[in-house]
Amino acid sequence: MSSISARRLAKELAEIHSEGCPVGINLVKADDFTCWWFTIEVMGESLYQDEKFTLQFRFDSGYPISSPAVQFVVTDGKQAPIHPHVYSNGHICASILGNEWSPVLSVVAVCVTLQSMLASCKEKQRPVDNDRYIRHAPDNPKKTQFHYDDDTV
Amino acid sequence: MKVTVKHWHAVAQWRWDTGNDDDSGDGDDVCGICRVAYEGCCPACKVPGDDCPLIWGECSHVFHMHCLLKWISTTASKQQCPMDRRAWVTAERKV
């Protein structure tokens, strides 16, 4: 008896294995249907030349009705990109991970969106409230009520 | 030559009429929410067919009814179509 999320994720995984990921995105591990890791790098000209980041997806049994918990990995010597929407603990303020999540989105679609978020970055800086946020941030970024105040970066 | 038919097997196939003239390839006719074929059933059901029907939006998007209702019942959905984020309005079934 597999859950709804497991069936949908099995389909996504099969697609990744048969068609591969978009350029710059690679599957690191997907040993089960609760936690997947990807590496993500920005192709072409950008502020993140030669930098490779690791993205973690955590799924609950309600996926894809409920959004995945997505963040950059900041353990094992890995670091989150310096970006106005990415906190130093790896949490990401992006509307599609929160109030604009849609069940027709997919893991790969989220990776591509975050890749282009990095690609269009004009200035490498942390969110203004970074220090305050990471002091009290919950383990799961889905528990944070982000304010999506700036669509331009 | 004279041929006498002794017995025969009828084979039938059914499809939902989604209104999309994509009869050529049955490649992409899946529910965007569960990614299972329209003619399959939603993950909560065991038997495809009338017990697990499709639902049409006025925006023209089609889903398994059970998948769409599960989404619409969440506050996160804001009662919007998952495809275009317009307010979901169920369309009259066009037969």
Q: Does B31 touch chain A (CB under 8 A)?
A: no
Q: Is residue B15 in some structural domain?
A: no
What is the domain count for chain B? 1
pLDDT band at A148 (very low <50, low <70, confident <90, very high): confident
Q: Is residue A117 in some structural domain?
A: yes
Closest CB from A7, A101, A104 relative to B76:
A101
Least confident of A68-82, A92-106, B58-72, B81-95: B81-95
A64: Cβ contacts below 8 Å, ≥ 6 apart:
A5, A8, A103, A104, A105, A106, B33, B34
Question: Could you give the angle at the alpha carbon of A92 between the alpha carbons of B85 and A10, nearest 5°?
Answer: 65
- Which CATH number do you get for residue B92? 3.30.40.10
Q: Is residue A145 in some structural domain?
A: no
Strand-strand pairing, A69-72 and A35-40: unpaired
pLDDT band at A143 (very low <50, low <70, confident <90, very high): confident
What is the domain count for chain A? 1
Q: What is the domain range of residue A26?
A: 4-138
Q: Is residue B10 in some structural domain?
A: no
pLDDT digits (tens, 9 = 90+) for B17-69: 877 665 555 556 899 999 999 999 999 999 998 999 999 999 989 999 999 99
Q: Is residue A144 in some structural domain?
A: no
State the burial class of residue B35 (Cβ atoms within 10 Å of its Cβ: 0-12, 13-18, 19+): buried
The whole-chain average pLDDT of chain A stands at 92
pLDDT digits (tens, 9 = 90+) for A95-111: 999 989 999 999 999 99
Left if phi > 0, otherwise alpha if psi is -120 to 50, otherwise beta: which for A103?
A: alpha
Q: What is the pTM (predicted TM-score) of this model?
A: 0.87
Cβ contact A7–B71 (<8 Å) = no
Q: Is the pLDDT reported for residue A3 higher than 70?
A: yes
The distance in angstroms from the start CA to the end CA of chain B is 45
Whose CA is closest to A38, among A112, A96, A102? A112
Q: Is the pLDDT reported for residue A77 higher than 60?
A: yes
Q: What is the domain range of residue B42?
A: 25-95
Residues in chain B within 8 Å Cβ distance of A11: 35-36
Residue from B28, B30, B31, B34 to probe the interface with A (highest A Cβ count within 10 Å): B34
For residue B83, give the chain A residue with the closest CA.
A104
- Which CATH number do you get for residue A38? 3.10.110.10
Please tell me the distance in Å from B92's CA to the nearest CA on chain A: 23
Q: Is residue A81 in some structural domain?
A: yes
Whose CA is closest to A113, among A38, A49, A19? A38
pLDDT computed for residue A153 by the predictor: 54
**Which ipTM did the prediction report?**
0.82
Residues in chain B within 8 Å Cβ distance of A143: none
Sign of the alpha-carbon dihedral angle for A126, A21, B62, A64: negative
